[in-house]
Amino acid sequence: MKQNRKGLLLVVSGPAGVGKGTIDTALIERNPDMKMSISATTRNPRPGEIDGVHYFFKSSEEFERMIENDEFLEYMHVFNTNYYGTPRLFVEEELKSGHDVILEIDVQGAMKIRDSYPDAVLIFIAPPSMSELKARLIGRGTETADAVEKRYATAFDEMRYMDRYDYIVVNNVVDVAVCRVEAIIEAEKCRTVRSEALINRLLGGSEKP
């Protein structure tokens, strides 16, 4: 029996290399009622990326028209070149029908969601240690040492936002981290602040002494 019918908006952030994508994919696979929000972007698709699966690929004109129509929960303009944003409609419809929605977004986007949607639950995925994070960035083996250093500096900057999240989940063993996120979702649904309907049903009925 569900205690709470409305879905949860779950914001998941964390530095590159921390494994948040792996965690989110596992969550979706294990919980068929959970939905992943798909971002929109004006950047070109990379090889293998499919429109409507990895991103909604938009022209700048389309994206700007969507901004004007208030169709984004949050968006940003990166380096004055590409737009990235979270389409509002998908998220709101899924939440209304009781599905939990995961937004995997960066710290800037997360802060915007926190301001515009205070009901959202913000989870920061952290590495077991910074040296482990560096090792994972190097381990990808696809980048020069310079590029790795740059990514590490960006990762460290993102880590500074950690304390503005509701929860911090260390990703040491993926399965453990996934279970912790699932526990957070279950616990949040029992929070008194989300239980107004339950309280009214119990105390407002005809069963007064």
Sites of contact with its own copies (CB under 8 A): 1, 3, 123-124, 126-131, 134, 149, 152-153, 156, 159-160, 162-170, 172-173, 176, 179-180, 182-184, 186-188, 190-192, 195, 198-199, 201-203, 205, 207-209
Instruction: Kindly tell me which of 70 and 207 has the beta carbon lying closer to its own copies.
Output: 207
| Other beta carbons within 10 Å of 180 | 18
**Is residue 160 within 8 Å of residue 153, measured between CB atoms?**
no
Half-sphere exposure of 93 (CA within 13 A, CB side): 7
Instruction: Kindly tell me which of 89 and 199 has the beta carbon lying closer to its own copies.
Output: 199
| Other beta carbons within 10 Å of 120 | 21
**Shortest Å distance, C-beta 54 to its own copies:** 29
Taking Cα atoms as reference points, which of 64, 90, 77, 87 lies closest to residue 7? 90
| Other beta carbons within 10 Å of 167 | 17
What is the three-state SS of 138-163? HHCCCCCHHHHHHHHHHHHHHHCCHH
Instruction: Kindly tell me which of 39 and 171 has the beta carbon lying closer to its own copies.
Output: 171
Instruction: Kindly tell me which of 50 and 193 has the beta carbon lying closer to its own copies.
Output: 193
Q: Cα 96 from chain centroid? A: 18
Instruction: Kindly tell me which of 89 and 202 has the beta carbon lying closer to its own copies.
Output: 202
**Shortest Å distance, C-beta 20 to its own copies:** 15
**Shortest Å distance, C-beta 136 to its own copies:** 13
**Shortest Å distance, C-beta 149 to its own copies:** 7
DSSP code of 117?
-
Instruction: Kindly tell me which of 67 and 184 has the beta carbon lying closer to its own copies.
Output: 184
Taking Cα atoms as reference points, which of 125, 165, 119, 168 lies closest to residue 7? 119
**Residue 82 in 3-state DSSP?**
strand
**Shortest Å distance, C-beta 31 to its own copies:** 13
**Shortest Å distance, C-beta 29 to its own copies:** 19
